[in-house]
Amino acid sequence: MAVANQPAVAPGSQRRIGLYLGLLAGAVAALLLAGWSTPNFLTFDNMFVVVRAASITGIVAVGMSYVTISGNLFALSAGQLSALLSVVYALMVRGNLWVPLSCAGVCAVAVLAGVLQGYAITIIRNPIITTIAFGAVFVGLAAYVSGNGNIRIHNEAATWIGTVRPLGIPIQSWVFVAWALIGLFVLKRSRIGRLITLSGANRLTAAATGLRVDVVTAISMVMLALSCAIVAIFSVSQFSSAKADMFPGLDIDCIASVLVGGIALRGGQGSPIQAAFGAVLIALLQNYLLLRSLPTGVRLAIVGILVVAATSGFHLLQRRTR
């Protein structure tokens, strides 16, 4: 219950909520304007394509949000880890290992990779350099175990995982939505989520209160790694193949989703839902630009401008609401 003569919501929170609502209204207005200028844009079939396009990036972006909220900026090894896990999964399935066991095996490898990266970040104290180095290790291992070639699989159960469409919607899209909602619950309602947020808000204070910051960092990296495992399983199952360079640009797309979603770079604020929202916004923009037949270079430049504008806007917001 609010204390007498004291607002139930802090002024900073009111301003933040107001600005987020304003940004949402602006996004809806832009969406309607895009639909008016490009008739094929707001059709059901095209929105279906957009959600499907956002799913792979969005799943990993949700995982990346844990890293950013925990105060570790970004991981630049998501694409390489996804490629390695894809190769591992394809080799397991091609070796006639039961598909559920193959999925479990890939998740176990992902957990190990996440833990190793998390504790290495704690030792080196630089998540960017650490994950770049691990990315090189992951892509090197992927190229080695795959013979630097394309691994093809022929398994009906695996193909079903990648192509099944509950209610006519690809399973990847359902998992994207579910993974984002699970992330929201973990961050806002679980003890692990509270520890991640506290660690990101002030690492020194968190350590002084006895919080194992190294464990929190490892957990956030494990959540990202599990996101990469999900993407690897779906991608290999859908295309029936895996190779070491499967996910070019995935790191940049995920980071862009986190930034456009407005998650605080300094850590301690944000939600996986915001990263998912950012992934959808970027997919919408890319789809619109593609329908307008703009050259690839122009499309990349416009997406970059959006990321810079969104990051600057949210940074100014966070400064005003402190």
Amino acid 155 reads: N
Structure confidence at residue 38 (pLDDT): 85
Residue 47 lies inside a defined structural domain of this protein:
no
Report d(CA 248, CA 77) in Å as an integer.
11
Residue-by-residue pLDDT tens, the chain, 322 positions: 444 444 455 555 565 566 566 666 767 777 788 888 888 888 888 888 888 889 999 999 999 999 999 999 999 999 999 999 999 999 999 998 999 999 999 999 999 999 999 999 999 989 999 999 999 999 999 999 999 999 999 999 999 998 899 988 889 999 999 999 999 999 989 999 999 999 998 888 887 888 889 999 999 999 999 999 999 999 999 999 999 999 988 998 999 999 988 888 888 888 999 999 999 988 988 889 888 888 988 888 888 888 888 777 776 666 665 5
Residue 219 lies in a domain: yes
Domain membership of residue 99 (yes or no) is: yes
Phi, psi of 281 (to 5 degrees): -60, -45
Residue matched to tokens 């862009």: 256
User: H or E stretch including 300?
Assistant: helix 296-320
Question: How many angstroms separate the CA atoms of 91 and 89, rounded?
Answer: 5
For position 147, what pLDDT does the model report?
92
- Residue 15 belongs to a domain: no
235 Cα distance to chain centroid:
15
Bridge-based pairing of strands 151-152 and 241-242 is: antiparallel
Return the number of other C-beta atoms located less than 10 Å from residue 78's C-beta: 30
d(CA 138, CA 42): 40
pLDDT at residue 11, as a whole number: 53
What's the pTM? 0.89
Q: What is the pLDDT of residue 315?
A: 66
Q: Does 112 map to a domain? A: yes
- Domain with 80, as residue range(s), is 57-252+264-271
Look at residue 318 in the predicted model and tell me its pLDDT: 62
Which structure tokens are listed for 63? 């995982």
Q: Which residues of 284-319 are buried (b: 16+ CB within 10 A; e: fewer)?
A: bbbbbbeeeeeeeeebeeebeebbeebbeebeebbe
The answer to whether residues 123 and 68 touch, using CB atoms and an 8 Å cutoff, is no
Give the DSSP H or E segment for 163. Answer: helix 156-163
The candidate with the shortest Cα–Cα distance to 78, out of 201, 224, 223, 218, is 224
157, part of any domain = yes
Q: According to the model, what pLDDT value does residue 6 have? A: 45
Q: What is the pLDDT of residue 246?
A: 92
Domain count, the chain: 1
Residue 255 CA neighbour count, 13 Å, CB half: 16
Q: Does the residue 26 lie in any domain?
A: no
**48 belongs to a structural domain:** no
In this structure, which amino acid lies at residue 224?
L
Q: How many CB atoms lie within 10 A of CB 188?
A: 13
Write down the residue that tokens 């607002």 correspond to: 7
